[in-house]
Amino acid sequence: MNRRLGREKAFQVLFSMDSKDYDVNEAIELILEEEPNEFVSTLIYGVVKEVGVIDQKIEDHLENWAMKRLANVEKTLLRMATYEIFSELNTPKGVAINEAIELAHIYGDEKSGQFINGVLAKMNK
């Protein structure tokens, strides 16, 4: 599984946890057809473990918004990209941002990609 597909699978797992209140292992079992590779596991478990720190970083870069007001799609994508940008996954920041925007175009509404880009661009400065 390449990283692009891995991000999409990680998004689906994390989104289901936020939407249906599954625990991480239950969500992985329900969403993934196979054991996640190292990248996907690191992304999923990293976001789960660091969600408090991640949410604070996001909150610090939101203008006129609060985390609790964000739609689950945007919240999940921002969490994943923030983790990927600030973790030791060695993903170039631009790649993490672009991948989050692409997933926003697939799973969000017409303004999701623009919103994600704005928040992550501020965070990247």
What domains can you pick out in the chain, each with its CATH number?
Answer: 3-124 (1.10.940.10)
103 near 77, Cβ under 8 Å? yes
Residue 14 has pLDDT above 80, yes or no: yes
pTM of the model: 0.94
Q: Which two tokens stand for residue 53?
A: 């720190």
Please report, rounded to a whole number, the percentage of residues in the chain having pLDDT higher than 90: 75
Residue 33 has pLDDT above 90, yes or no: no
What tens digit of pLDDT does each residue of 56-107 get? 999 999 988 888 899 999 999 999 999 999 998 888 999 999 999 999 999 9
Say what the pLDDT of residue 1 is. Answer: 83
Say what the pLDDT of residue 64 is. Answer: 86
- Nearest partner of 89 among 5, 1, 7, judged by Cα: 7
